[in-house]
Amino acid sequence: MAQKIPATVVTGFLGAGKTTLIRHMLQNAQGKRIALIINEFGDLGVDGDILKGCGDETCTEDDIMELSNGCICCTVADDFIPTMEKLLARENKPDHIVIETSGLALPQPLVRAFNWPEISTKVTVDGVVTVVDGKAVTEGRFAHNVAAVDAQRKLDENLDHETPLSELFEDQIACADMIVVNKSDLLNDIESETLVSNLKSESRKGVQVIKASMGALPVDVLLGQGIGAEGDLDARHEVHHHDHDHDDDHHDDDDHHHHHDHDHDEFESFVVELGEIADPTAFAQQVADVIRTHDILRLKGFAAVQGKPMRLTLQAVGPRVDTYFDRPFGANETRSTRLVVIGQAGLKQSEITAALSA
């Protein structure tokens, strides 16, 4: 039988730097043909669009497939497996498959999907790479004190002290074969060392914890871990799924169960469409204010700037807003501004839209 194609799962909380890490990897792939599967949260395919824009020879637009159903774990049968089958049926097979999960996805159900008979003989999970926003976690945004939460939970099984955010973070850490402490450029040495050692103590034995800036890691470090993660799921404890037994070989009932036992209603996203903006700096400031006022987790998209042929990419993680011009608008593209806003359920959509339009 032909060798299985290795697949690396890149997971991590909203805005941690998954797309940035993948872009760096593609630019340094040294001829390795990589196919990408991208799982977006929200209707606007920002990450896919950013990656397609880099025009790498080792990963052309055809090699990028997008799943736009938000929660990869709920759409395994309808979306993920058919996409993988399509990819595996190609004549020109990739050397490696990289799957970027949305920042709100649980990695365990995705890894479990590799045991499905449709794909289990053809691919294997090379490793799960969890990207952590070092700055956000150090500042206590998202899930900062996982150890304390965990200690509390161990004291009393009946109490649920966790927020959905820390559960997600914990699941992403528990599933990791490698943890990348990203954005270390924004941390001092003590902060990054503290975070690295905390994460080492919170992760499974043997998991590598590596510091990075802008996801810059050698491709040989990221790919080729050879773990076969789908074979040791039991070690990858899930907070979200403690209410039923897992049976990796029989997916039918199990999968239907998964559709309902965790709740992505906890999060929502919507798209704000605007015309051209006048001034990128002023607009970034406006976005930062809206994020603070409305407790938005992630905001990203593209903007058209008056008098500029280039498209402006806008990225905000918490209160930090980055902008850069990425490419000219195409001849058939509408010059408009589209932003996807992601937050916990209950976002005041009309107020946010109004504040961004002002």
The residues binding ligand GTP (CB under 6 A) are 12, 14-20, 47, 103, 182-183, 185-186, 213-215, 298, 300, 315, 317, 322
- Minimum separation from the CB atom of position 214 to ligand GTP (A): 4
- Minimum separation from the CB atom of position 72 to ligand GTP (A): 12
Q: How far is CA 248 from the centre of its chain?
A: 24
Which residue number, 12 or 70, has a Cβ lying nearer to ligand GTP? 12
- Minimum separation from the CB atom of position 292 to ligand GTP (A): 17
Give whole-number Cα distances, 323 to 92, 108, 153, 353, in Å.
37, 33, 40, 19
Which residue number, 172 or 225, has a Cβ lying nearer to ligand GTP? 172
Which residue number, 150 or 266, has a Cβ lying nearer to ligand GTP? 266
Which residue number, 102 or 124, has a Cβ lying nearer to ligand GTP? 102
- Minimum separation from the CB atom of position 44 to ligand GTP (A): 11
**Bridge partner residues of 178 (DSSP):** 129, 208
Position 207: which residue type?
Answer: V
- Minimum separation from the CB atom of position 323 to ligand GTP (A): 9
**In the 8-state DSSP scheme, what is residue 70?**
S
Which residue number, 239 or 317, has a Cβ lying nearer to ligand GTP? 317
Sign of the torsion angle spanned by Cα atoms 3, 76, 27, 187: negative
- Minimum separation from the CB atom of position 7 to ligand GTP (A): 18
Which residue number, 103 or 109, has a Cβ lying nearer to ligand GTP? 103
**Bridge partner residues of 317 (DSSP):** 298, 320
**In the 8-state DSSP scheme, what is residue 345?**
S
* Token pair in block for residue 68: 């736009």
- Rounded to the nearest 10°, the torsion over CA 152, 154, 159, 165 is 70
Which residue number, 88 or 214, has a Cβ lying nearer to ligand GTP? 214
- Nearest-CB residue to ligand GTP? 103
Burial class (CB in 10 A: 0-12, 13-18, 19+), 14: buried
- Minimum separation from the CB atom of position 17 to ligand GTP (A): 3
- Minimum separation from the CB atom of position 54 to ligand GTP (A): 12
The number of CA neighbours under 13 Å toward the Cβ of 306 is 7
Residues 6+ apart with CB under 8 A from 153: 159, 160, 161, 162
**Bridge partner residues of 302 (DSSP):** 313, 338
Which residue number, 17 or 127, has a Cβ lying nearer to ligand GTP? 17
- Minimum separation from the CB atom of position 192 to ligand GTP (A): 11
Distance (Å, rounded) from C-alpha 104 to C-alpha 35? 22
Which residue number, 119 or 314, has a Cβ lying nearer to ligand GTP? 314
Largest interatomic CA distance in the chain:
61
Of 206, 266, 204, the closest CA to residue 237 belongs to: 204
- Minimum separation from the CB atom of position 322 to ligand GTP (A): 4
Q: Can you state the percent helix, strand and coil of the chain, rounding each to 5? A: 40, 25, 40
Of 341, 357, 350, the closest CA to residue 268 belongs to: 341
* Token pair in block for residue 55: 């025009």
Which residue number, 6 or 17, has a Cβ lying nearer to ligand GTP? 17
